Amino acid sequence: MQDEANTLKVAAVQMVSATDPAVNMAAAARLIAQAAGDGARVVVLPEYFCLLGRKDTDKVAIREADGDGPLQAFLAEQAARHAVWLIGGTVPLASARPSRVRNACLVYGPEGTRRARYDKIHLFGLDRGGERFDESATIEAGRTPVVCDVGPWRIGLSVCYDVRFPELYRNLSPVDLIVVPSAFTYTTGQAHWEILLRARAIENQCYVLAPAQGGRHENGRRTWGHTMLIDPWGEIVSVLPEGEGVVAGSLQRARLLEVRASLPALKHRVM
């Protein structure tokens, strides 16, 4: 039995999601079971775990009403089945505009009840070297930062492109863990993924757990992967470069306290 006040075992799932939600849910179920079987109490899925479509509007076509739909039912059932805290990457939820969705990160407790919802605030845009992305064309941005308490552990929620905006994490601080479910492109991931994640861990003196999409997808897109767990000193605890799998490790209360005591940067903040 874990002493969860001092140690919390966590796991991040890496996927190579396809264009069929049923196929993706089956893959996610298998990987959640693996993580739970290895003792994880918190399991986090990547952004777009349910679908990386052939076109951006595919996610709008499978949007669900808040609190109702097969994707949300799947997450609730998996959390209850394995008695874990399940952070469900992102799910496309209906917005006020029928042509757009909210890219929502949903948290379910071990009994299968939803405990938190965070809608991605920062929407990715890229126009570089023939690659072009504009999430604002199909996604309505959220506005509210969210922290979810898992027992004594404070978890700050964020999604993918959010990691480039340190002011979001200052708003969440202090937290023990930041989660960053992502689908970074190969181009931006190769250049910036590790640097950004380690910076967020260092400046907030907390753990960062970043599950990712990682590989060549059915729709032709390639994502960077490198799902990782980073400690409060910025050291990489574990990483999976590419392909399906699970990255696991433990949050250690003593490590958080050691880092914050030896270099009390959070106490030195003046703005």
Rounded to the nearest 5 degrees, what angle is found at the Cα of 38, between the Cα atoms of 32 and 39?
95
- Where do we find the tokens 């349910």? 50
The neighbouring-strand residues paired with 247 are 12
The rounded distance, in Å, linking the Cα atoms of 160 and 126 is 14
pLDDT of residue 1: 47
pLDDT of residue 2: 57
3 state DSSP class of 166: helix
pLDDT of residue 271: 84
Give 172-220 pLDDT, tens digit per residue: 999 999 999 999 999 999 999 999 999 999 999 999 999 999 999 999 9
Does residue 51 carry a pLDDT above 70?
yes
Does residue 255 carry a pLDDT above 50?
yes
The rounded distance, in Å, linking the Cα atoms of 133 and 188 is 12
Q: Structural domains in the chain?
A: 8-262 (3.60.110.10)
Residues 6+ apart with CB under 8 A from 22: none
Give 27-44 pLDDT, tens digit per residue: 999 999 999 999 999 999
Active site residues: 47, 120, 160
pLDDT of residue 253: 98
Pair of tokens at residue 160: 């993918």
Rounded average pLDDT over 6-17: 98
Give the β-pairing of 236-240 and 227-230: antiparallel
Question: CB–CB of 118/142 below 8 Å?
Answer: yes
Give 105-152 pLDDT, tens digit per residue: 999 999 999 999 999 999 999 999 888 999 999 999 999 999 999 999
The neighbouring-strand residues paired with 101 are 94, 139
What are φ and ψ of residue 182, in 5° steps?
-145, 165
Q: Is this structure's pTM higher than 0.85? A: yes
